[in-house]
Amino acid sequence: MKLSRSIIEKSIKKGKEVAEHFGFELPPFAHWTKEEWKNKGAEVDEIRDCMLGWDVTDFGSEDFHNIGRVLFTLRNGLYNSEKYPKNYAEKLLIDPENQRAPAHFHRNKREDIICRAGGNILVQLTKANAEGQPTQETFPISVNAVLRQITPGEIIRLKPGMSLTIPPYTIHQFWGEEGTGVLFDGIGYTISSEISSVCDDWTDNVFLEHGVRFPEIKEDIDSIHYLCHEYPKDV
């Protein structure tokens, strides 16, 4: 079963509600509808080309509420680009308890995961070797800017205000800890952010098992918003 457009639109609506609750102001383009996009020209190319905006995915799992993500990309650059020379990116993550991405690592991206508000974020880490296989060796990770040695598969608890750095070739999953978030419709929510080097979601994600970064969508309702990879080109 494909990820349905109704789940996407419901998730964006919930993401706005959660961000508002925690006092996180989203930029104007977070609220632009498809109808409003009809009036946008080359002046918004950075939003299009750097894939800023809403990102709702189940990674092809067909199990969105367990293996899925709702993100909003606030800023990003492009590798080797004179037009978009930013070498950093920032994403807001809406974290319902226990929802996570598949275990994966990045070949190039280095990212800080910061628990911003709500409950706790649990982060599980394992180092990958040059061939992309999990290792059984301890390795250093910076937690709150303090270096510590991590054992393979260790889970680190980040309370609001805490953070850690995930270097390239570090296998990771993270999720909102059950019972710690702020309740919305009976589900605990936390918000976190990702501050990183340039994010290339087309080529830099390596999933340990099956994973599709941008899955096919079942159009069961009319869409209101474009996802970050769906924007129309300026014509």
Q: How confident is the model at residue 234 (pLDDT cuts 50, 70, 90)?
A: low
Work out the average pLDDT over 175-188. Answer: 96
Residue entry with tokens 């998730």? 11
**Beta-strand (E) ranges in the chain?**
3-4, 53-57, 69-75, 89-96, 104-106, 111-117, 121-127, 139-143, 146-150, 154-158, 163-166, 170-176, 182-184, 187-196, 205-207, 217-218
Determine the length of the chain: 235
> CATH number of the domain at 3-218, please?
2.60.120.10
34-56 as b/e: b if 16+ CB within 10 A: eeebeebeeebebbbbbbbbbbb
The candidate with the shortest Cα–Cα distance to 117, out of 16, 22, 12, 15, is 22
* Distance (Å, whole) CA 191 – CA 160: 9
* Distance (Å, whole) CA 158 – CA 152: 18
The pLDDT of residue 233: 83
Q: Where are the domains of the chain?
A: 3-218
At 139-156, the pLDDT tens digits run 999 999 999 999 999 999
* Distance (Å, whole) CA 200 – CA 51: 9
At 20-43, the pLDDT tens digits run 999 999 999 999 999 999 999 999
At 189-198, the pLDDT tens digits run 999 999 999 9
Q: Are 172 and 150 in contact (CB under 8 A)?
A: no
Work out the average pLDDT over 203-230. Answer: 94
> How many percent of the chain have pLDDT more than 70?
99
The pLDDT of residue 188: 97
Say which residue, 234 or 203, is predicted with more confidence.
Answer: 203
At 77-128, the pLDDT tens digits run 999 899 999 999 999 999 999 999 999 999 999 999 999 999 999 999 999 9
pTM here is 0.95
Residue 180, pLDDT > 90, answer yes
Tell me how crowded residue 112 is: count the other CB atoms within 10 A of its CB.
15
